[in-house]
Amino acid sequence: MFIIRPIETKDLDGLMELLEKSGHGLTSLPKDPEVLKKRIRMSERSFANREDTPTGEDYLFVMEEIFTGKIVGVCAIISKIGGFQPYYFYRLEKTHHESKLIHVKNDVTALHFHFVHNGPAEICSLYLHPDFRNSQNGRFLSLSRFLFIAENRKLFEDQVIAEMRGMVNDSGHSPFWDAVGKHFFKIDFPTADYLYIKNKKFIEDMMPKYPIIANLLPEEAEYVIGKVHPNTEPAKRILEQEGFRFSGLVGIFEPGPVLIAELDNIRSIKESVVGEIKEISDKPFKSEIFIISRQSSNFRAALGGVVKLKSGGYKISGVAAAALKLRLGDKIRFVSFRPKEIKKKKVTKKKLKV
């Protein structure tokens, strides 16, 4: 069984071990103990000192295997991007050209340098150990963050983005970087990726402000614009099922798509329910799977069954209660693990097989 909880200083070694297999592309979590230590300290301050308005707090969570204590995943939420150090993107603009004289039609895509000072919230830094990747663990890791947001709504901006990992191979090769970035920065992609965490200012110093015409790039570089890494496809589908859509922005180095959503329209936030525990059962009972978090300042989330009682309140399993450190009378926030339309499709498939 797994829980998701805020990261702590003691988790540094476990986080470093987790990231050993992360390859390139996880820009926000470099394999640098000093950078990670600083990020963990910032996260602990964010959880401890919650303001009434978002000011760039960084909430970092880990997914822990309860019985072993092994950290198998990590994810984060930033309450607001921008501020003194803006975030940089390309904005895609497509124009249609047509000549009746030569009977030719053509679409031209331009990448416009775009930066954000007063930005939305961001979900980021999602990584799951390869040995634990499956549809259940990945969905749980991604969606648990929305229960934290629902519980602490005033701490976040009204919109949230997710910058998806672009097409970079395991050795750090990016066809888009080779065609564009390296000509302006004169460094390789992994170095630029690392420096981006340290200080983003060098991007504005070196990047040309005129549009880049995608149609003039090598075919391999043009193809990856707006595409996600194969390992990121499941994460993208999960967010789209929650209500995220393409924002028209892509990453500045490896141009993966930036997805966006209104917080209050995200399924896991909108459909989440708050209730009181009236029964903790040590016996199995029928229930769909829910993501459950305890309603307290010390966030924890787990998967489990929840049943509404006729007498009022809710019943949960003893295993889930123990994982979340819950007692009778405590309140929980929970949401269905999968959107209703996905569950309906699965039922249809089963009926067809029969």
- The catalytic site residues sit at 229
Indicate left, alpha or beta for 79 from its phi (over 0: left) and psi (-120 to 50: alpha): alpha
User: Angle at CA 331, nearest 5°, toward 80 and 153?
Assistant: 15
% the chain with pLDDT above 90:
66
Amino acid at the residue 177: W
DSSP annotation string for 47-63 = HHS--SS-SS-EEEEEE
* pLDDT tops 80 at residue 170: no
Query: Strand, coil or helix: what is 177?
Result: helix
Amino acid at the residue 263: L
* pLDDT tops 80 at residue 98: yes
So what's the pLDDT on residue 300? 96
Tallying the residues shown for the chain, one arrives at 354
Name the residue with higher pLDDT: 32 or 109: 109
CATH level 3 topology of 2-265: Aminopeptidase (3.40.630)
* pLDDT tops 70 at residue 53: yes
Q: Whose structure tokens read 């970092």?
A: 60
Distances in Å between the alpha carbon of 8 and those of 37, 45, 63, 113, 196? 10, 11, 12, 37, 24
So what's the pLDDT on residue 92? 96
Q: pTM of the predicted model, to two decimals?
A: 0.89
What mean pLDDT do residues 168-191 have? 82
For residue 71, the cross-strand partners are 64
| Domain ranges across the chain | 2-265, 271-353
Query: Strand, coil or helix: what is 119?
Result: coil
For the domain 271-353, what is the CATH code? 2.40.40.20
CB 124 within 8 A of CB 28: yes
Highest mean pLDDT (candidates 4-18, 29-43, 76-90): 4-18
Q: Tell the burial category of 234 from Cβ atoms under 10 Å away from its Cβ (0-12, 13-18, 19+).
A: middle
Lowest mean pLDDT among 102-111, 140-149, 156-165, 194-203: 194-203
pLDDT band at 353 (very low <50, low <70, confident <90, very high): very low
Amino acid at the residue 51: E
Digit-coded pLDDT (tens) for 313-346:
999 999 999 999 999 999 999 999 998 875 555 4
Q: Tell the burial category of 154 from Cβ atoms under 10 Å away from its Cβ (0-12, 13-18, 19+).
A: exposed
What mean pLDDT do residues 250-270 have? 95
So what's the pLDDT on residue 343? 56
% the chain with pLDDT above 70:
94
Name the residue with higher pLDDT: 197 or 352: 197
Pairing of strands 82-99, 58-65: unpaired
